[in-house]
Chains A and B, each alone.
Chain A
Amino acid sequence: MAAPATVARDGATTGPYLQVRDLRVQFSTEDGVVKAVDGVSFDVPRGRTLGIVGESGSGKSVTSMAILGLHNPKRTRMSGEILVGGRNLVGMDDEDIRRLRGREMAMIFQDPLSALHPFYTIGRQIIEAYRIHHPGAGKAEARKRAIDMLDRVGIPQATRRVDQYPHEFSGGMRQRAMIAMSLVNDPHLLIADEPTTALDVTVQAQILDLLEDLQREFNSAVIIITHDLGVVSAVADHVLVMYAGRVAEYGSREQVLRGPQHPYAWGLLSSVPSLHGDADADLVPIKGNPPSLINVPSGCAFHPRCRYAMLNGGPCDIEVPQLLPLLTTDEPGHTVACHLPERQRRAIYEQDIASVGVAL
């Protein structure tokens, strides 16, 4: 292996394990350039979990795919920096990124039934993942490793089930197998793209618990991508709210879920049923649809759907808001991209939103 990889493995590099700086991802299509991710920055240190929330089309999945280098380089323009253990993946050679994929950084996908190859046994797929990055490992060794991993993620009778096919597993077991496969090489960064969306509600909690356990054990940096605020509140340390390829709000879980500042974050919260609130109260959906990423609305991309836009006669429709830290309260690390004055936002929140509350 190349020298930088060794350095990173030993943890000699400083700073958070994953650092994304001003990431931009654009796809050229026949209709125009899709600005799927437009200047996103965040850090995820090892042992921490970042939750990325947003509607479909907000750029959350594109961001994660970009980190793994899974976009087709011919049709994708990427700029900015993605530092994984100190190495910048943007512009890195395809083959070098491939060597990192699955070993340093791994991914769990939404639907484990379609994400696992239907024609190969679970064991074979895990063994493959292991042996790609451990060319010296024999078949027996890799198989033992696969069984250990299945056992570790809570699959009963792992020695027997290792030889079964994905369709012989239940949904939850499949996702466990998927997790086992992604962790087989002890990656430092794990990206889970809607890991519980395709699962039964009862199984969801088990999978989230498992992810938390494993994170503690492997001390990895984790990104959970979801539209489910319940998931975020259960596992995330920090939360990044994305809208139209940009960061709308960022902060710790408590900051974002208990004192959200961006009208879009309010919208997300109000559209979730609350366990503590009034059972008869109607949910408040966010009006309109996510914007086209080819013709992003001018100014703040959210302004056409924002019920508080232009309240202060502000530049919502002409100027893109900067992601700025809060000034009036002592909330280090809480940043928001909104033109409304902070005082006014707080007032609106206290008045309209706080009563709804979210199950934290």
Chain B
Amino acid sequence: MLRFLIQRTLRAIVTIVAISMVTFALFFILPANPAQTMCGRNCDAKQIQQTLVNLGLDQPIPTQYTSFVKGIFVGRDYGSGEFLRHCNAPCLGYSYRSNEKVTDILARTLPVTVSVVTGAAVLWVLFGVSLGMLSALRRGTVFDKASIGVSLVGASMQVYFFGLLLLMIFVYGLKLLPYPQYVSLWVDPVGWIKAMILPWTTLAFLNAALYARLSRAQMLETLSEDFVRTARAKGVPRRAVYLRHALRAAINPIVTVAGLDIGAALAGTVITETVFSLTGLGKTAVTAATQLNLPVVLATVLLAAVFIVVANIIVDGLYAVIDPRVRLGA
């Protein structure tokens, strides 16, 4: 198990390094001049040159990359002379736009996305899986048909429609909720929930639909397995047959999908963030990309890669916990 984890971690590091290089390279292939962007319209050639030096963009690309990596682990200096400034590790550079430290931007936006995604993920996994399981057990009944119908609606819904619909009803219509305004969970838990409940519901409804369909199909398949018949032949009570025998075996693919989905969602839920005007990671990444804001783009892309890679490792680890056959094969 330990060996397996070490192996996976090493592979993950290679992946992340590769992604950072590709992102770096892609950026410099673009015919863009960040110094011009940063300096503004009225800069003369000298000022642009100075900005270029301050940003370290006058260096060859490999050197830039190594100083970027160095910044992450030991910190780095930007510019020279009167413009010298030191950026402590972990340093991801400064935004070309606001000159704000990228780490500060992440510290500001990441909690928003994490709040949205964790809450929504709990809801969608919980509701999606239980709905799917129940309709598998009541296959063919009105309940089953209704839940298939609801999940079909959910699966074909879009965030910007359903989210706006919720906003219209609960914020502008019934005035039950304030317009979502992110506050930290640690500062104001009630306010946090109030702000998050609509994004959660939106994201959860859409995703729960997929999970309901997936777990229904999975459960139906498992219920026809021989070992479920064996459990019944042993005289195991119905409830235990479903929970201990069938669900346990059906949960595997759901864990996979959930792990990867949550990893991907943490990397940013742009549309949801936009609909509810939350400045999360996704929105930051998209804005940075349109503004050619390399440090922010690099940071968000790397963070997204880390989330997805870590989610993969966790899923693989869970596999081994769930399925003893994997444990030995590793």
A residues apposed to B, CB below 8 Å: 68, 70, 98-103, 106-107, 109, 111, 114-119, 121, 128-129, 132-133, 165, 167-168, 178, 181
Contacts and interface: CB of A to CB of B under 8 A. Distances in A.
Given A109-B226, A111-B226, A114-B227, A119 B234 contact: no
A119 B229 CA distance: 15
A118 B229 CA distance: 13
B227 A128 contact: no
Contact of B324 (A109, A119, A128, A181): A119
B229 A102 contact: no
Pick from A68, A128, A133 the residue with the most CB of B within 10 Å.
A128
Interface in B82-119: none
A103 B226 contact: no
Interface residues of B, number: 21
The binding surface of chain B is classed by DSSP as helix
Given A111-B226, A114-B226, A68 B233 contact: yes
Contact of B322 (A101, A103, A119, A121): A119
Given A98-B238, A106-B233, A117-B249, 9 more contacts: A102-B236, A107-B230, A114-B226, A115-B227, A117-B227, A117-B230, A167-B325, A168-B328, A178-B230
Nearest to A184: B234
Contacts of A119: 248-249, 322-324
Contact of B325 (A102, A109, A121, A165): A165
Interface string B229-266: 11111111110000001001100000000000000000
B178 to A, nearest CB: 47
A109 B230 contact: yes
Contacts of B249: 117-119
A109 B229 contact: yes
A158 B323 CA distance: 23
B229 A103 contact: no
A207 to B, nearest CB: 17
B140 to A, nearest CB: 9
B324 A118 contact: yes
B229 A115 contact: yes
A70 B227 CA distance: 13
B237 A102 contact: no
B235 A98 contact: yes
Contacts of B229: 70, 109, 115
Contact of A70 (B232, B245, B325): B232
B225 interface: yes
Contacts of B248: 117, 119
A133 B322 CA distance: 27
A83 B74 CA distance: 81
Given A109-B226, A132-B237, A118 B323 contact: yes
Given A165-B324, A165-B325, A117 B231 contact: yes
Nearest to B228: A117
A30 B232 CA distance: 26
10 contacts: A99-B235, A101-B234, A101-B235, A106-B233, A109-B233, A111-B226, A117-B245, A118-B249, A119-B248, A129-B235
A121 B324 CA distance: 9
Contact of A103 (B225, B235, B237, B238): B235
A70 B226 CA distance: 12
Interface string B203-225: 00000000000000000000001
A117 B225 CA distance: 9
Contact of A115 (B226, B235, B236): B226
A70 B325 CA distance: 29
